Structure 1
Amino acid sequence: MDAVERLISYLKIDTESIPDQDHIPSSEKQFDLARVLEKDLKELGVSDVRLTEHCYVYGKIPSNLSREENAKTPALGFIAHMDTAPSARGKNVKPRIIENYDGKDIVLNETETLSPKIFPRLLDAVGDDLMVTDGTTLLGADDKAGVGEIMAMAEYLLSHKEVPHGDICIGFTPDEEVGCGADIFDIPGFGAEIAYTVDGGILGEVEYENFNAASGKLKIHGVNVHPGSAKDKMLNALLLAMEFNSLLPPCIPANTEGYEGFFHLCDMSGEESHAEMNYIIRDHDKAKFEEKKKIFADAAEKLNQKYGAKGASFEAVIKDSYFNMKEKLKDHMYIVEVAKTAFEKEGVKPIVTPIRGGTDGASLSYKGLPCPNLSTGGDNFHGIYEYLNLSSFRKMIDVLIRITQEMIGKKP
C-alpha cells in the first residue's frame, strides 16, 4: 500500500486519549488503531508481533547481518504513539491533500483558513504537497505520521532483503498525549538497546533535550455570602484565583521560546465559593525548574497567610511528570550523530533543537532506553490548523531507512 494511503486510513481512526485516567489506555478506542497495526505488521512479515492488554503494539525485523557484524550493531528501536491530543476533536477526521502548495491562504471551511500570515512557516512548503484538516478537527499527524513512516520503513526493509540492517524493533504506544505512554512500556520485551521516537515536527529535527515537566493543581476555597451583605466578609474564589495567577512570573508559552521555561494555565473552573486551576510547569534547566515549582507553592502559601484567618484556603499540589532526557543521553551521543548523518546523506540539513514539550523518549531514556526524537514533517499540532508536509513525510521514510544503514557497526 502507498505510504500516504496507509497514513490516511490511520488518520481516520479516532484515537483521542483522555486526561486524568487511572488506567492505560485512557480510551478504549485506541485499540481500534492498535488492532489495525497488529494486522498490518503481520501482513508485512514483521516477526514477534503482539498487542498487549494495555494497547501497546510491538514487533521485530530480525537482523540480516553476519554474526560478526551483528555483534557490532546495536538493536535499534523506532517508536511512535497512536493517540491524538484531547485539546482538539479527533473524531471524523477528513484529511485533504493540497498539491504543489502555492504559498497562499488555504481555506479549510467557510469560517477557518490556514494562512501563512499567521503561520509563516507555511511559506517554507511552497511547491510541496500538504495534507490539511477540514477545520473541524485536528489532523492527527502527531503522531500518526510517525506511525506511518515507521510502517513504510518496515515495508521497505522486508521487501528489499538485500538491504543490510541489524535487529529493528518497532513499538507503538497509547496515551503519550496525556503523559502515560512510557509508563508500562515493556523495554526488555521490546528488545532494543537504543531507540528513536519519531514524533517531532518540521523535517530535519533531531532532539535530545526536552523540558523538565510538572503539573500544578490549585484548589481554592472561598467564602461566599449574599452579595448584598458581602462587605468585609465575601472572599470570591474566582477573584482569589486571579490574584494567585498574578503572583506568578509572566513567563507564559505565548512569550517564551527556545530554552525559556513557562507556567501555563491549562484550565480553570469554579464559582464564588470554590475554584480549581490546573497548570503545567516547564523548564529545560533543572535548577530553574525547581525554582518554578517553589514559586508556585510559595504563591499558595502567601495567600493562605493573607486570607486564612478570614476563612479562605489554597491547596497546591505539584507533581513531576518527566525530566530532561539530555541527562541520560549525554553518554550516548553517537545515537544523535547517526541521525544527523542520515539526514545529511538524504540531502536534509539537521536541525538540532530542544523540544518545547516532551516525548515518550524522555521517560524511556530515564528507564534505561536512550531515545532521542526525530521529525515527522508535521506542524501546528494539537489543533485544527495542523498540517503535514507530505514531501517531508516521504523524505522521513528515506531517513529512517538510512539510519538503519548508518547504525551498522556503531555499537560502543
Structure 2
Amino acid sequence: MENLVERFLRYVTFDTKSDPSNPHCPSSSGQLVFADALKLELETLGLSNVSLDANGYLMALLPSNVDYSVPAIGFVAHMDTAPDASGKNVSPQAIKDYQGGDILLGSSGEKLTPEQYPDLNTLHGHDLITTDGTTLLGADNKAGIAEILSAVAYLIAHPELKHGDICIGFTPDEEIGRGANLFDVEKFGAEWAYTIDGGPVGELEFENFNATSADVICHGVNVHPGTAKDKMVNSMNIAAQFQLMMPAEETPECTEGYEGFYHLKSAEMGVARSELGYIIRDFEREGVEARKAFMQNKVDELNARLEKGRVELVLSDSYYNMKEMVEPHQHIIDLAKQAMVECDVEPMIKPIRGGTDGARLSFMGLPCPNIFTGGYNFHGIHEFITIQGMEQAVKVIVALSQKTALSYQPHSSEHS
C-alpha cells in the first residue's frame, strides 16, 4: 500500500482530458504521454507482454503462478479524464482524519459541504484527497489504474498468493464513449474482466443504461429583421418549442435508480439553424426504443404544425445494457462478491446510471462488470476520493485474483 497514494498523486499530474471534437484515437496527446509513462512502469514491475499501440491501448500480463488451469481474468481502467472540467495542473490537497464540516478547496472559494454531499457524513475518520477547486481530480479513472498496479505489485511481491493469468488493460477516450472502439479482446486474452471504475466502496455493477444520442436540428430562414415580416423563420423559436414539448420530469435532475431520462446537454443556436443535443437513457431496451419514438413523434408534430422539413431528428445508439451479456456468467459476479466480503466490504449491487468500457466490452465477448474505486463526485471540481477506499479496492483486486485461482483448483469445493 505504501506506493498506492504516491502512484495516484503522480498520475493526476498528467493532463489526459479527452476531446470529443477530435475524431482521432487517442483524442488528446496527453493520453499517449501518460501511456508511455505507464508502459515504463509496467516493464519495471517485470510484467510480460507489455504493449502500447499507436492508438493508446496499453496491455500487459502477470503470468499465472499455479500449476493447474485457471481462466485468465482481466482488470481494465481508462487513462483519460472527462472533458467536463479542466484536468491540467491538478493540485490535490489531503484532508487527514476528516471529522465533519465544510472542506475549503484551496483558495478557490469552492468548498465541499455535507449539505450538498451527504456522503461526507459517512466518512468521518477517513483521509480524503480533494481538488483545489479549479480542476477535476482525475480519480476517474487514475485511481483505478493506481489500484490495479498496486494490487499487481503486491501479488508480485507475495508469490505465495496463488493466482492465474492476470491481464491488464488501460484504454483511451472512455469518457467520450470510444474506450472500447479499438480494444483487441483476443489480444487481451482474458475470459472475463472487471473495470475498476466505480465510485464509493462496495459498488459492484453489472447493469448500465442503454444509451442513445439524439440531435434535433431546426432549420429556419434568416432575413434582415427590418424586412422580415412573413419571411423570417427563426430556428431558435422552433428549438424552444421542441424543448417545451419534452417531459420536464424525465430529466437527470428528477430521476434516480432505474428511472430513465432525456437530457438536453448542448445547444447551438442561430436564426437560420439551431441544433439541440440530447442524450437518451433507459435500462430497458424497449424503454430506450420508446423514448426514441417519442422524440420522433414530437418532431413530426412540429413539422405538421410548421412546415415539413423544418425539424429533423438524428439518432445514434452509443451502448447497451451489459446485464444481458453478464448475467449468463453469474460466477464472475459471485467471485467479486466473495472477494469483497473477505475484505470486510459490503457489496452494493446497483445499476450504473451511465456507462463504462465494460458495457461495450461485454458485447464484444468479454463479460466485464464494474468495481468501486473509492471516489466521489466525478467529472467536476468537487471530485474527491478516500485513501481508505483506494486501499480497500486494492485488497479486493488481490482477493479476487486469489478467489478465482482457488475456485478452479482441482477438487476445490468452490469450483465454478
Q: Bin the TM-score by the shorter chain.
A: over 0.9
Cα deviation 1:223-247 (Å, max 9, x = unaligned): 2334445444433211211111112
Cα deviation 1:252-297 (Å, max 9, x = unaligned): 0000000000111111012222111111110001111100111122
2:209 matched to 1:211? yes
Q: Is the 8 A contact 1:204 1:351 kept in 2?
A: yes
1:195-210 equivalent positions in 2, closer than 5 A: 195-210=193-208
Equivalent position to 1:243, from 238, 241, 247:
241
* Cα distance in structure 2, aligned partners of 1:28 and 1:315: 35
The aligned residue for residue 179 of structure 1 is 177
Bigger shift: residues 286-295 or 164-173: 286-295
2:50 matched to 1:49? yes
Question: 5+ unaligned residues in a row in structure 1: which ranges?
Answer: none
The aligned residue for residue 370 of structure 1 is 367
- Corresponding residue SS for 1:220: strand
* Cα distance in structure 2, aligned partners of 1:240 and 1:270: 11
The aligned residue for residue 298 of structure 1 is 297
* Cα distance in structure 2, aligned partners of 1:410 and 1:332: 14
Bigger shift: residues 328-337 or 296-305: 296-305
Bigger shift: residues 227-236 or 365-374: 227-236
The aligned residue for residue 4 of structure 1 is 5
Equivalent position to 2:392, from 358, 370, 395:
395
* Cα distance in structure 2, aligned partners of 1:180 and 1:105: 37
Equivalent position to 2:75, from 59, 70, 78:
78
The aligned residue for residue 253 of structure 1 is 252
C-alpha deviation, 1:31, in angstroms: 0.5
Q: Is the 8 A contact 2:108 2:134 kept in 1?
A: no
Q: Is the 8 A contact 1:80 1:172 kept in 2?
A: yes
Q: Is the 8 A contact 1:248 1:295 kept in 2?
A: no
C-alpha deviation, 1:129, in angstroms: 0.4
Q: Is the 8 A contact 1:304 1:313 kept in 2?
A: yes
* Cα distance in structure 2, aligned partners of 1:280 and 1:95: 32
- Corresponding residue SS for 1:408: helix
The aligned residue for residue 26 of structure 1 is 27
Scaled by the length of structure 2, the TM-score of the pair is: 0.95
Scaled by the length of structure 1, the TM-score of the pair is: 0.96
The aligned residue for residue 58 of structure 1 is 59
* Cα distance in structure 1, aligned partners of 2:22 and 2:211: 19
Q: Which amino acid aligns with 2:242?
A: F
* Cα distance in structure 1, aligned partners of 2:321 and 2:7: 33
1:322-333 equivalent positions in 2, closer than 5 A: 322-333=319-330
Q: Is the 8 A contact 1:74 1:410 kept in 2?
A: no
C-alpha deviation, 1:110, in angstroms: 3.8
Bigger shift: residues 78-87 or 288-297: 288-297
1:9-158 equivalent positions in 2, closer than 5 A: 9-67=10-68, 71=69, 73-108=70-105, 109-158=107-156
Identical counterparts, % of pairs? 48
The aligned residue for residue 282 of structure 1 is 281
Q: Which amino acid aligns with 1:344?
A: V
The aligned residue for residue 384 of structure 1 is 381
- Corresponding residue SS for 2:405: coil
* Cα distance in structure 2, aligned partners of 1:302 and 1:330: 40
Return closer, same or farther for 1:20/1:333 CA change in 2, 3 Å cut-off.
farther
* Cα distance in structure 2, aligned partners of 1:394 and 1:230: 66
* Cα distance in structure 2, aligned partners of 1:366 and 1:88: 30
The aligned residue for residue 321 of structure 1 is 318
Q: Which amino acid aligns with 1:22?
A: P
The aligned residue for residue 412 of structure 2 is none
Give the number of aligned pairs.
406
Cα deviation 1:47-95 (Å, max 9, x = unaligned): 111111110110000000113xxx2x21010000000000111111111
- Corresponding residue SS for 2:168: strand
Q: Is the 8 A contact 1:253 1:262 kept in 2?
A: yes
* Cα distance in structure 2, aligned partners of 1:162 and 1:357: 39
C-alpha deviation, 1:364, in angstroms: 0.4
Q: Is the 8 A contact 1:60 1:169 kept in 2?
A: yes
* Cα distance in structure 1, aligned partners of 2:405 and 2:86: 42
The aligned residue for residue 344 of structure 1 is 341
Bigger shift: residues 232-241 or 249-258: 232-241
* Cα distance in structure 2, aligned partners of 1:155 and 1:30: 23
C-alpha deviation, 1:15, in angstroms: 0.2
Q: Which amino acid aligns with 1:234?
A: M
Cα deviation 1:368-403 (Å, max 9, x = unaligned): 000000000001000000001111011110111000
Q: Which amino acid aligns with 1:181?
A: G
